[in-house]
């Protein structure tokens, strides 16, 4: 693909061509960002894109890495409140346990915007939530598998995300909905890999040993690409061919999964855009400018990629996005 086309693809994925005016509502504001951590390539890209968006719009961003611990996020939010920030961006590590600290932010009149994950808390405790339809992501992955295997018996092993997180809950739900009416497809083993590459490899190694060295496994469904990449390595170590002996479908569409597609080791990935900050800052800009509250849920697109989609071009474009 030509360089110009690749750059156009990158620009499209970023979706940074916002229609909002940043002159009055957002410029100069101090905004806190409580990020889960850096457990995956996608998470690192979200952080990078958020910082780029903040700089582009003249926002002073206070960044806090929670290292995948909720208690660190709660401390960060309380620190942001004490500093008197104008707003808080929160990518919550788990869904529960937020009522008290979000209530403190509300009492301080500091709007909170959720990024890429939801919370089990009253909706009046946050301004809006910017996320993909995570159930749809799982459903798209499941639909792909249904179409791919047809009537063939297919035993699936599942690498789940962090226990209690909304992506793990919802992606599992969507995948199960997609295969529910297809009795030839069964999830035979399911275990958390905590969204990390190392845990994905470890869990898949256990699945392979438990299932006749992997010969009884038709497909691996991973809740994110990093676990899938770890699982792919485990399959290779077991002497099998990922993408052929065991089908691989996952979610996020990070660059490394496209390297795997180029090698014939991954079959499908559902994209989760790392640009949650663009719509979040747009919502805050309008809120600060007019006082009008945004829609409660802002949904980003979920797109399926397969080896037919020129994975080399997509890989190169995504590398330009800060992964």
Structure tokens at 132: 């993909």
Whether residue 181 is contained in a domain is answered as yes
Whether residue 319 is contained in a domain is answered as no
CATH of the domain at 17: 3.40.50.2300
Residues 18 and 111 reside in one and the same domain: yes
Residues 140 and 263 reside in one and the same domain: yes
Q: Is the pLDDT of residue 15 over 70?
A: no
Residues 138 and 267 reside in one and the same domain: yes
Residues 113 and 175 reside in one and the same domain: no
Whether residue 147 is contained in a domain is answered as yes
Residues 125 and 141 reside in one and the same domain: no
What confidence category does residue 12 fall into, taking pLDDT thresholds of 50, 70 and 90? very low
Residues 184 and 230 reside in one and the same domain: yes
Cβ contacts of 237-240, under 8 Å, gap ≥ 24 = 237/205, 238/205, 238/208, 238/213, 238/214, 239/213, 240/208, 240/213, 240/214, 240/215
Residues 286 and 227 reside in one and the same domain: no
> Which strands, in side-by-side order, build the sheet including 112-115?
60-65, 30-35, 87-90, 112-115, 128-132, 297-300
Residues 216 and 288 reside in one and the same domain: no
Burial 113-136 (b: 16+ CB within 10 A, else e): bbbbbbbebeeebbbbbbbbbbbb
Instruction: Tell me, yes or no, if the pTM score tops 0.75.
Output: yes
Residues 278 and 265 reside in one and the same domain: no
Whether residue 257 is contained in a domain is answered as yes
What confidence category does residue 25 fall into, taking pLDDT thresholds of 50, 70 and 90? confident
| CA–CA dist 295, 297 (Å, integer) | 6
Closest CA to 31 of 77, 88, 81: 88
Partners of 298 in the β-ladder? 130
Report, as an integer, the average pLDDT of 24-53.
Answer: 91
Write out pLDDT tens, residues 121-179: 999 999 999 999 999 999 999 999 999 999 999 999 999 999 999 999 999 999 999 99
Residues 105 and 225 reside in one and the same domain: no
Write out pLDDT tens, residues 131-141: 999 999 999 99
- Whether residue 319 contacts residue 255, with contact meaning beta carbons closer than 8 Å, is answered with yes
Structure tokens at 24: 């009055």
Domain count within the chain: 2
Domain range spanning residue 266?
Answer: 134-271
Closest CA to 185 of 145, 223, 213: 145
- Whether residue 49 contacts residue 319, with contact meaning beta carbons closer than 8 Å, is answered with no
Whether residue 323 is contained in a domain is answered as no
Residues 182 and 74 reside in one and the same domain: no
Residues 128 and 138 reside in one and the same domain: no
């Amino acid at each position: 693909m030509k360089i110009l086309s690749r750059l156009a693809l990158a620009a499209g994925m970023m979706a940074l061509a916002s229609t909002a005016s940043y002159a009055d509502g957002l410029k100069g504001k101090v905004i806190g960002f409580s990020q889960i951590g850096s457990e995956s390539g996608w998470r690192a890209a979200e952080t990078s894109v958020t910082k780029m968006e903040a700089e582009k719009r003249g926002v002073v961003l206070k960044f806090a890495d929670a290292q995948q611990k909720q208690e660190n996020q709660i401390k960060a939010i309380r620190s942001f409140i004490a500093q008197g920030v104008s707003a808080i961006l929160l990518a919550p590590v788990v869904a529960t346990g937020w009522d008290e600290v979000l209530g403190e932010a509300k009492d301080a009149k500091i709007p909170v915007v959720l990024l890429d994950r939801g919370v089990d808390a009253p909706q009046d405790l946050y301004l809006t939530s910017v996320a993909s339809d995570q159930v749809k992501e799982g459903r798209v992955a499941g639909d792909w598998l249904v179409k791919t295997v047809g009537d063939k018996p297919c035993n699936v092993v599942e690498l789940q995300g962090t226990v209690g997180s909304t992506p793990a809950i919802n992606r599992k739900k969507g995948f199960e909905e997609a295969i529910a009416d297809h009795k030839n497809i069964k999830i035979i083993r399911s275990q958390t890999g905590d969204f990390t590459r190392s845990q994905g490899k470890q869990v898949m190694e256990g699945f392979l040993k438990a299932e006749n060295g992997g010969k009884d496994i038709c497909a691996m469904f991973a809740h994110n690409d990093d676990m899938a990449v770890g699982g792919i390595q485990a399959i290779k170590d077991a002497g099998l061919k990922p993408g052929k002996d065991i089908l691989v479908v996952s979610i996020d569409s990070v660059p490394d999964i496209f390297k795997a597609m180029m090698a014939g080791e991954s079959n499908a990935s559902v994209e989760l855009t790392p640009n949650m900050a663009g719509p979040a800052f747009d919502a805050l800009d309008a809120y600060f400018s007019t006082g009008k509250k945004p829609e409660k849920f802002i949904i980003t697109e979920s797109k399926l990629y397969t080896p037919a989609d020129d994975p080399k071009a997509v890989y190169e474009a995504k590398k330009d996005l800060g992964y």
